[in-house]
Amino acid sequence: MLITNPHLPDNPIVFANPAFLKLTGYEADEVMGRNCRFLQGHGTDPAHVRAIKSAIAAEKPIDIDIINYKKSGEAFWNRLHISPVHNANGRLQHFVSSQLDVTLELSRLVELEKERKTLSIETARSKDQLDYIVEVANIGFWTREFYSGKMTCSAECRRIYGFTPDEPVHFDTILDLVVLEDRMTVVQKAHQAVTGEPYSIEYRIVTRLGETRWLETRAKALTGENPLVLGIVQDVTERKKAEANKALVSREIAHRFKNSMAMVQSIANQTLRNTYDPEQANRLFSERLRALSQAHDMLLKENWAGATIQQICATALAPFNSTFANRIHMSGPHLLVSDRVTVALSLAFYELATNAVKYGALSNEKGVINITWAIMEDKGEKKFHMRWAESRGPEVMQPARRGFGQRLLHSVLAEELKAKCDVEFAASGLLIDVLAPITPEVFPGMGHNVPEQRIA
């Protein structure tokens, strides 16, 4: 992670986190004050450099894979994301960028392509090898008389289409199985075969049992007085499902990455906007990024299915346990919330605890924090109730403006939970009460039995 200052000459680096230094092999004093172009080298594509310059000049975010170089001279593929950070007046303040080494990922794709080509060559060397591959790949063979449409099919071909071993097969018999949307394409390809050019087509059929399957056919005609079309057919339904799942996963990864970067940009914006001391800003930003990282680690363990309130509290408040473990109490039912709410609540709890150490219940020797949550009934409707209650600490007064933790709470409650949030700076300590409707998007685990209480 880097932060640069476009208001200084040559847009120099003003912050570099340890992960960047570990990735590139540089020390902090070797990168601070330099423009990021020192990572470029002879293998860097000039077109990629121009694209980055254009985005920076236009103050727009950019995602790009570019070849960069480590201090050792080793080249690596850098999946780079750059976002501008503007102040409340819309004026550009900084650029925030993240770097991810995807060299192994891209190298593996190249290796897979080489392996595919090698396999293709090897299968052509020997009929025995080809027959074996065909057998294990479940490939069916067929021939078709071009003008009559009569077909001869192998046993595997008959199995794929759902034909019995002895029934006669005609091109029209197969065409009747093809779904209507794909039928015209199949007919056109079949007629083009008379030119002698090979063709390949993927299409769907509905079997006699009513099951939809994806098939791939490759064919070539032996031209002459009575053209004969030779072809193979393979059931590629599972491959199509895998491709659809891969596309879904790719979209989900991109969505989560953008959400994470939006959260990082928000943290950077809030930190830089409200802190004028560079050292303090650096420390606060690093602490908040660490809290965000811990929330992401927790979600990864749960396969991004969300986390329970208990997990969120325990993870967010873990840094305070060594000193205040017996003064922070939490209780409530096993209640799962979505990944977006998990991240926001983790950051909010961490920030509120930090403020409690500085100004609230944890700033003296006897103050305590009680965090409780429950599913309650309010006017006949189930609702989520959560309370952050500080007591036995110094007398608190309402600050002139909201802190980062309170802003996070209000943001996530308003946007994600559709909740009502009451904040009271009582003489006994800070009180925060949250009341939110129950929705499956926010509380995906509400199918389980959860103890209820009634709001007094």
pLDDT in tens, 37-69: 999 999 999 999 999 999 999 999 999 999 999
Q: What is the DSSP letter of 38?
A: G
Q: What's this model's pTM, rounded to 2 decimal places?
A: 0.43
The domains spanning 2-107 and 126-235 adopt the same CATH topology: yes
Distance CA 448, CA 363 (A): 39
Say which range, 206-215, 258-267, 288-297, has the weakest mean pLDDT: 258-267
Angle between helices 278-301 and 339-358 (to 10 degrees): 140
pLDDT score of 298 more than 80 = no
Instruction: List the chain domain ranges.
Output: 2-107, 126-235, 262-454
Confidence of residue 93 (pLDDT cuts 50, 70, 90): very high
pLDDT of residue 245: 67
pLDDT in tens, 220-259: 888 777 888 888 899 888 888 877 766 655 555 444 545 5
In CATH terms, the fold of domain 262-454 is: Heat Shock Protein 90 (3.30.565)
Confidence of residue 404 (pLDDT cuts 50, 70, 90): low
Alpha-carbon distances of 51 from 55, 60, 284, rounded to whole Å? 6, 11, 32
pLDDT greater at residue 428 or residue 53: 53
In the three-class reduction of DSSP (H, G, I as helix; E, B as strand; rest coil), residue 376 is classed as strand
Q: Which residues, other chains included, contact 325 with Cβ-Cβ below 8 Å and sequence gap of 6+?
A: none
CATH superfamily of 126-235: PAS domain (3.30.450.20)
Confidence of residue 454 (pLDDT cuts 50, 70, 90): very low
pLDDT of residue 171: 92
Percent of the chain topping pLDDT 90: 36
pLDDT in tens, 148-186: 889 999 888 888 999 998 899 999 999 999 999 999 999
Give the CATH class of 2-107. Answer: alpha beta
